[in-house]
A and B are shown apart, each in its own frame.
Chain A
Amino acid sequence: MGKLRLFLISCLMVTMAMGLWAGGQPEAETKTETKIEGLNSNPLSDYRVRQAIAYAVDMDTIAETLLEGKALVADSMVPNGPWKTPGLNAYSYNPEMAKQLLKEADWDANYTLDVVFYYGDQLTVDIMTAVQAYLSAVGVKMDFRKLEGDLGEQLWTNPSDPVNGPSYIKWDMAYAGSAALAMHEYYGKLPTNGPGNSHTPSDPEIDRLVAATKATANIVDQQNAFFELQKYVNKNLPLIPLYYQQLFIYESTRVNRNGGAYGNAQYKYDWNILNWSVTPDVSGKEVLYTNTAPVEFFQHPWFNPGIFMYSKVLFDSLLVADEALVAKEGQLASKFSVANDGMSISFTMNDAEWHDGSALTVEDVKWSVEYALQVPAIHSVFSTTFKSLEGAQAFIDGSADGISGLVIDGNTITFNFAKLDPNMMLTFSQFPPLPKKYFETADPLQFQQNSFWQNPVGSGPYKVQEVQMNDYTVMVPFESYYGGTPSIDEIVMYPSGENDGNVIKNASAGKLDYGFTKSVADVKSLEAMSNMRVTPVDIPYTRLFYVNKFPKP
């Protein structure tokens, strides 16, 4: 494997040398007259330097070699599809253009870029090595290092002065990934004082464009606002998008989805699990083997709503989304209605039960929303939605006992918003209510440490039958499930995290029927197995360089 990587990197070098030898004509459209706003002592504050870096790195070759053709080169944070504007500059490999831009920006050849990352895999090191070589070829020195310790603090601490800095962070560029549930997440770190904006000095134009994406619930208007934002970001490159990572769903030939859709498996969507079937064993039982069983505890679904198999089948949400994660119909809600201005939504609950046989009520829903706002870590899309409710701030401050915007009337709960949240439907299709009675006296700060997460009680089509922590977990159909009885008799899960190091071994042995991975190496091996099939899915997951443009301390 080591030799293969050496060979690939050598190929990159040769390609790069050929590119340099061939030269290249500067592209006319990139000769921009943009006024250099916010230029400071940090050379990366000059957009021409950032553009030069983008031109200097041959992402096409990296995608084809190191990423083995399993990634798409990115020209925007937003993935390909209806949310991306056409006509963006792809910054295709052009070392001559990079040199020219660096010359215009008066780049100091003695300056060494400090590039950081936090992934522990060899692929990241290989990519960093390739980028280092590409930049060196245009006269930019670069060192790279892996961050350890409190990554949040080292990566995302905002400077005290969001206009002039200096930056709190030490690095020049950070190689990272942005996995978005909502398109707004891609640009959340750019506005002035935006959470995690450790790197981009206040830019009124970015603030205006980002605000415009949140100002409407109308999809077409939102798309247009995103198009404008993408064009601005594409030209100024406050972030340098590198590639779109794909997700690969693998299934054994024993499994039949019976028409179930393939979507972003990291979240919940209507995947027809009730109708999946598996070739029965000798006793006639349909048993599906999969991974991501808990090692020490079940992770709560308010941070990662669907990344683990158990989260998907244990907990239902008020709405269900299609494979593109667009809310399509009620799930726990038998019906729902949204106000024309998007400022309120009402749900009438169906007759769902918790797995312990008790009724799932609107009180559980109200409690879940209020409790979630007190939990240390929930998904940012959820917290944004809930913080937009009327009276949410008073509840958070402690000046109110509940959120006044949550109104219960019989079997109906209405969410009244103080400000528009364009992603509320997304929230309601991913956020699962939990049973209030198990948490009533529990400290929300220690939500994940609650004993509930040793054997959770859910509302979905499968319930936990047996947990042998770190050995296996067995889930069986919930007999009182409102949606009917699933066809598969038993789901047996092996313990693993999101990244399962035993995928190949277990799949080879015929002991893995379903899962997903983003590991390119695993995909190549799975594709070679006759008993497995692999389905690539485009997901919103963009790898990029965050660029620190503040003056350094």
Chain B
Amino acid sequence: MLSYAIRRMLILIPMLIVISFFIYSGLELMPGDAVSYMIDPEAAAELAPEKLDALRDSLGLNDPFILRYFKWFGGVLKGDFGYSLSSGVPIRDIVFDRLPATLELSFIALVLSTMFGSILGFISAIRKGSIADNTLTVVGMLGVSVPQFVFGLVAILIFALKLKWLPVGGRLMPEYITYWDRFPHIIMPALVLAATMTAGVMRYSRSSMLDSMNKEYIKTARSKGLPEWRVNLVHGFRVALTPVIVLVGFRLPTLIGGAVVIEQIFQWPGIGNEFITAVRGQNFPLVMMIALFSVFAVLIASFLVDLFTAILDPRVKLG
């Protein structure tokens, strides 16, 4: 197990290098650069080209592509994540400022969706063909099909604008002191995000449970006279959870970048919003660091999924 873990961690390094190079190359293919984004097109005519060129020079944008990549990568190796091209703020500060907001939102949504999705999927499977199953199937399909922004806007309309129970958006306000002061702000975005994620987990959990219930070991358990709840929960649900864990594991990276739409609708000041702004502005040091965090999260998630699968399913061997 330990040697497997070390091997997997070592493989991460070349993968990160290669992926970062591809992302950097992708950014290079975009038309324009950070300076062309900074200057309003209607005003650009009035600015002397030599001044813009000097600005590009000062930001290092006139260097050849490969040189820029290695300068950036060299900085990362030394722990220097660089500075935002638009504001001059250290990227470390931006990431650590925005990341907690996104983690807070996504973590709550992930926990809720995993919990409710697994339980509802389980109920749906063991009550297959019942009204509850059909209802949950329809709800699940709706949850998968309806875009997040529709859920978000409907929720704002009902709970913020009509009923006035919850704030329309934002995360912090000047008068807030404790976490509970700002708690009402997270209820709607977290529940909307969780609702759309729950649908997927529920559908996955249901089909996995149905599959599991048709296995020989379930029949064996029943033939041994075990109570039905024990058959379902201990023998069926435990094994059925394996693919669900895989799904949830692969959703871990969404903790960083998966709530972009929700962040925009609910004015949630997270890293997803920042990423979109940085890509539009071709703020490549910032894009690269957020992308690198996301890639790292995906690779780690994949590693964790393998570990948990082996723990949950005795048939799986690591090696």
Query: Which positions in A face B, CB cutoff 8 Å?
Result: 118, 148-153, 155-156, 176-179, 188-189, 195-196, 295-297, 303, 376-377, 379-380, 383, 443, 445-446, 448-451, 453-454, 466, 468-472, 474, 490, 492, 494-495, 501-502, 505-506, 508-509, 511
Minimal Cβ-Cβ distance residue in B for A147: B41
Instruction: Let me know if B88 and A492 touch, CB within 8 A.
Output: no
Smallest CB separation, A507 vs chain B (Å): 10
B1-12 contact mask (Cβ, 8 Å, vs A): 1 or 0:
000000000000
**Chain B residues closer than 8 Å to A151, beta-carbon distance:** 32, 36, 41, 44
Q: Which of B42, B170, B172 has the most CB of A within 10 A?
A: B42
B260-277 contact mask (Cβ, 8 Å, vs A): 1 or 0:
000010010100011001
**Chain B residues closer than 8 Å to A446, beta-carbon distance:** 58-59, 88
A509 interface neighbour in B44, B48, B160, Cβ under 8 Å = B160
**Chain A residues closer than 8 Å to B98, beta-carbon distance:** 470
**Chain B residues closer than 8 Å to A470, beta-carbon distance:** 97-98, 269, 273-274
Smallest CB separation, B82 vs chain A (Å): 12
A472 interface neighbour in B39, B42, B172, Cβ under 8 Å = B172
From residue 32 to 59 of chain B, which have CB atoms closer than 8 A to chain A? 32-33, 36, 38-39, 41-48, 51-52, 54-55, 57-59
5 nearest CB pairs, A to B: A196-B45, A149-B31, A449-B88, A152-B44, A149-B32
A450 interface neighbour in B45, B58, B88, Cβ under 8 Å = B88
Alpha-carbon distance between A494 and B170 when the two chains are bound, in angstroms: 8
**Interface flag for B318 (CB, 8 Å):** no
Alpha-carbon distance between A450 and B89 when the two chains are bound, in angstroms: 8
Instruction: Let me know if B168 and A196 touch, CB within 8 A.
Output: no
A376 interface neighbour in B45, B52, B171, B264, Cβ under 8 Å = B52
Instruction: Let me know if A156 and B269 touch, CB within 8 A.
Output: no
Instruction: Let me know if A297 and B168 touch, CB within 8 A.
Output: no
Instruction: Let me know if A454 and B170 touch, CB within 8 A.
Output: no
Alpha-carbon distance between A280 and B97 when the two chains are bound, in angstroms: 33
**Chain A residues closer than 8 Å to B164, beta-carbon distance:** 509
**Chain A residues closer than 8 Å to B48, beta-carbon distance:** 195
Smallest CB separation, B165 vs chain A (Å): 12
Instruction: Let me know if B160 and A156 touch, CB within 8 A.
Output: no
**Chain A residues closer than 8 Å to B47, beta-carbon distance:** 152, 195, 376-377, 380
**Chain A residues closer than 8 Å to B45, beta-carbon distance:** 152, 155-156, 188-189, 195-196
B168 interface neighbour in A448, A450, A506, Cβ under 8 Å = A506
Assess A508 versus B161: contact at CB under 8 Å? Given A150-B36, A152-B39.
yes
Minimal Cβ-Cβ distance residue in A for B41: A151
**Interface flag for B137 (CB, 8 Å):** no
B87 interface neighbour in A150, A449, A494, Cβ under 8 Å = A449
Alpha-carbon distance between A417 and B40 when the two chains are bound, in angstroms: 29
Task: Categorize the interface residue count of chain B.
Answer: 35 or more
A297 interface neighbour in B87, B167, B264, B269, Cβ under 8 Å = B87
B51 interface neighbour in A376, A379, A453, A469, Cβ under 8 Å = A376
Assess A152 versus B52: contact at CB under 8 Å? Given A297-B87, A495-B269.
yes
Smallest CB separation, A522 vs chain B (Å): 16
Assess A471 versus B170: contact at CB under 8 Å? Given A150-B32, A376-B51, A508-B161.
yes
**Chain B residues closer than 8 Å to A295, beta-carbon distance:** 277
Instruction: Let me know if A445 and B55 touch, CB within 8 A.
Output: yes
Smallest CB separation, A152 vs chain B (Å): 3
B43 interface neighbour in A118, A150, A153, A377, Cβ under 8 Å = A377
Alpha-carbon distance between A296 and B97 when the two chains are bound, in angstroms: 11
Instruction: Let me know if A472 and B174 touch, CB within 8 A.
Output: yes
Query: Which positions in B face A, CB cutoff 8 Å?
Result: 30-33, 36, 38-39, 41-48, 51-52, 54-55, 57-59, 83-89, 94, 97-98, 156, 160-161, 164, 167-174, 264, 267, 269, 273-274, 277
Alpha-carbon distance between A377 and B37 when the two chains are bound, in angstroms: 13
Smallest CB separation, A393 vs chain B (Å): 13
Assess A451 versus B172: contact at CB under 8 Å? Given A151-B41, A176-B42, A376-B55.
no
Smallest CB separation, B54 vs chain A (Å): 6
Minimal Cβ-Cβ distance residue in A for B85: A449
Assess A511 versus B168: contact at CB under 8 Å? Given A148-B31, A449-B83, A450-B88.
yes
Alpha-carbon distance between A479 and B84 when the two chains are bound, in angstroms: 34
Alpha-carbon distance between A449 and B82 when the two chains are bound, in angstroms: 13
Assess A153 versus B86: contact at CB under 8 Å? Given A446-B58, A506-B168.
no
Alpha-carbon distance between A506 and B94 when the two chains are bound, in angstroms: 26
B169 interface neighbour in A152, A179, A296, A502, Cβ under 8 Å = A502
**Chain A residues closer than 8 Å to B167, beta-carbon distance:** 509, 511
Alpha-carbon distance between A446 and B88 when the two chains are bound, in angstroms: 8
Smallest CB separation, B52 vs chain A (Å): 6
Smallest CB separation, B62 vs chain A (Å): 13
Assess A297 versus B89: contact at CB under 8 Å? Given A445-B55, A471-B269.
yes
19 contacting pairs across A/B (C-beta < 8 A):
A151-B32, A151-B44, A152-B47, A176-B41, A179-B42, A295-B277, A376-B52, A377-B43, A380-B46, A383-B46, A448-B87, A449-B85, A453-B87, A453-B88, A471-B170, A490-B174, A492-B173, A506-B169, A508-B161
Alpha-carbon distance between A383 and B160 when the two chains are bound, in angstroms: 47
Minimal Cβ-Cβ distance residue in B for A297: B87
**Chain A residues closer than 8 Å to B84, beta-carbon distance:** 296, 449
A469 interface neighbour in B52, B88, B97, Cβ under 8 Å = B97
Instruction: Let me know if A152 and B174 touch, CB within 8 A.
Output: no
Assess A494 versus B88: contact at CB under 8 Å? Given A471-B171, A511-B168.
no
Instruction: Let me know if B174 and A474 touch, CB within 8 A.
Output: yes
Smallest CB separation, A492 vs chain B (Å): 6
**Chain A residues closer than 8 Å to B54, beta-carbon distance:** 376, 445
**Chain B residues closer than 8 Å to A468, beta-carbon distance:** 172
**Chain A residues closer than 8 Å to B58, beta-carbon distance:** 443, 445-446
**Chain A residues closer than 8 Å to B86, beta-carbon distance:** 296-297, 448-449
Minimal Cβ-Cβ distance residue in B for A471: B172
Alpha-carbon distance between A152 and B32 when the two chains are bound, in angstroms: 10
Known A-B contacts: A148-B32, A149-B32. Give 19 more (CB < 8 A): A149-B30, A150-B31, A151-B41, A155-B44, A188-B46, A195-B47, A196-B44, A196-B46, A297-B86, A377-B43, A445-B58, A448-B87, A449-B88, A454-B87, A471-B170, A471-B269, A472-B172, A494-B267, A509-B160
Q: Which of B87, B168, B171 has the most CB of A within 10 A?
A: B87
A377 interface neighbour in B39, B88, B168, B277, Cβ under 8 Å = B39
**Chain A residues closer than 8 Å to B39, beta-carbon distance:** 152, 377
Smallest CB separation, B92 vs chain A (Å): 14
Instruction: Let me know if B168 and A505 touch, CB within 8 A.
Output: yes
Alpha-carbon distance between A150 and B173 when the two chains are bound, in angstroms: 38
B44 interface neighbour in A156, A177, A296, A445, Cβ under 8 Å = A156
Instruction: Let me know if A472 and B88 touch, CB within 8 A.
Output: no
Alpha-carbon distance between A506 and B168 when the two chains are bound, in angstroms: 7
**Chain B residues closer than 8 Å to A383, beta-carbon distance:** 46
Alpha-carbon distance between A501 and B149 when the two chains are bound, in angstroms: 14
Alpha-carbon distance between A397 and B44 when the two chains are bound, in angstroms: 22
Instruction: Let me know if A149 and B36 touch, CB within 8 A.
Output: yes
Instruction: Let me know if A448 and B88 touch, CB within 8 A.
Output: yes
Alpha-carbon distance between A70 and B155 when the two chains are bound, in angstroms: 31
Minimal Cβ-Cβ distance residue in B for A295: B277
**Chain A residues closer than 8 Å to B161, beta-carbon distance:** 505, 508-509
**Chain A residues closer than 8 Å to B170, beta-carbon distance:** 471-472, 494
Assess A152 versus B36: contact at CB under 8 Å? Given A296-B94, A376-B51, A445-B58.
yes
**Chain A residues closer than 8 Å to B267, beta-carbon distance:** 494-495, 502
Instruction: Let me know if A505 and B41 touch, CB within 8 A.
Output: no
